Structure 1
């Protein structure tokens, strides 16, 4: 999940924005300070374009950019700051930005390979180390995005309050407003929102989390892996592991076992997986509609199971 766009309003209504000038290669050359000899658009993802570029010395780059007619947005800057913040804690290898501005994000090219069990174990240990590095609070000191949707990163000291008010409720309301959830569905999820403090387990300090760690955001390079497209913030460490479980990951048990060697998960973590999956599932309803409705309700009921 990724990105965002801003529409003209008020005094700008009806006024067209001037398109960004220059080819992608020219824009990248200006941003990087050395000549990019080739850049080709490959696809569209959410609200931005994906391109591949090559510098004069042969270095290959991966580029995300806002469309030429779109207004500047904080989405790519947020991703760049998140990658840099995570990279300081993840250790080598970390996929840190090459360069960025409010319209373009340039990343190293990753040559993907089949994942190996040993790479999965390294990922588990590095993920644990990243989480243990911690954060000053729940949230982050930059505007948040999860995919193209804004995400409230206002600092908070209490995770249950943060999760209920800044991760569940905004997307529950949006999903309902868009017709992805019925009023009856909303009431079921609201039961989870009301009881997060009871369901959360023992308090944990803010962890430095990726925030959108589904399997597609783990790029394998044979003997290691790198993390991409974060919604980085100070959060609950179980959230990243629950997200890996949600859509599956090669050698997931190896990742989790290695993680536990470095940072053992708290008692009862398995019973909280559905609680942590509820946020990304609500985001998916907002992005993709009622196709995820049933999964949201299953997660809400699983999160409530056993509560009294």
Structure 2
């Protein structure tokens, strides 16, 4: 999705789009930020929200996500803002902190992106380890969860295998089956993996403070470091973040992982569990984008069952 690193000068749109609730976006931002906003430019949409760029009177650039005028306030943007704030409370966290939000809008700093470097990747690995080690009270979170536009059950749990199976896998398997993106035969393949999570989970670990949607598009490279955006933040298993980084590829991923292991070594056998952790985002992709991800999801379920 379009993130805070794109150049607002490239939008080619007017400076005063109408706000989803009332007035221009610039006026709405001025209220929520408590300071004048020089201009705001609509830049398109992503999932169920609209994207704008804005500029304060001192030239500071902003990235804005807002629900459309007639859309109900589902809580998706509140979950994003609360998640970023929670991740940002960890010492040295790479999460991008929101500047302001309400139930219909979230305002973030605009990030000037650079090319990823090995040094920045190593710093990200160390920061990610520190974020995970900060921990969480339980698996889940004390707010309603979303991954992209899809609701995500954050009911707190003390047992990761059942939490992962029943709150991260089975709901999206049912959704994909109900919408016809997976057949009943497909669902049985995935169901075997879901039913086997306890045997496949590896050594027990305490809840980690994880991003929860850490694909490469949610990593913005900025000079000597990186910042993380668009989380599905939760108490979860730290291997889930690392598995998702490898799902769609990340520049210098080996550097990230090596630096991570220097701070917080992964448990023995972690490589055999990558597919298990990747099954959640893949089922989400099947729900969002249909059968295009069907084959990958089924292959990943089979690989998870083999433990290889």
TM class by smaller structure? over 0.9
Check conservation: 2:146, 2:152, Cα contact below 8 A.
Answer: yes
Name the CA shift for 1:41/1:147 in 2 (closer, same or farther; >3 Å). Answer: same
SS in 2 for 1:61: strand
The answer to whether the aligner puts 1:160 opposite 2:167 as a matched pair is no
| Aligned-partner Cα distance in 2 for 1:306–1:30 | 53
| Aligned-partner Cα distance in 2 for 1:70–1:260 | 44
TM-score after normalising by structure 1: 0.93
| CA-CA distance at 1:120 after TM superposition | 0.2
> Counterpart in 2 of 1:125?
126
The answer to whether the aligner puts 1:108 opposite 2:98 as a matched pair is no
The answer to whether the aligner puts 1:209 opposite 2:249 as a matched pair is no
| CA-CA distance at 1:193 after TM superposition | 1.0
Equivalence map 1:189-208=2 (5 Å): 189-208=190-209
What do residues 107-154 of structure 1 show as CA deviations (whole Å, max 9, x unaligned)?
001000001100000000000000000000000000000000000000
SS in 2 for 1:89: coil
TM-score after normalising by structure 2: 0.93
| Aligned-partner Cα distance in 1 for 2:94–2:147 | 23
Gaps of at least 5 residues in structure 2 are 3-19
Check conservation: 1:90, 1:127, Cα contact below 8 A.
Answer: no
Equivalence map 1:221-236=2 (5 Å): 221-236=222-237
SS in 1 for 2:89: helix
> Counterpart in 2 of 1:16?
none
Computed over aligned residues only, the root mean square deviation of the Cα atoms, in angstroms, reads: 1.3
| CA-CA distance at 1:228 after TM superposition | 0.2
Gaps of at least 5 residues in structure 1 are 3-18
Check conservation: 1:209, 1:235, Cα contact below 8 A.
Answer: yes
Check conservation: 2:160, 2:236, Cα contact below 8 A.
Answer: yes
Equivalence map 1:56-205=2 (5 Å): 56-89=57-90, 91=92, 93-205=94-206
Check conservation: 1:212, 1:231, Cα contact below 8 A.
Answer: yes
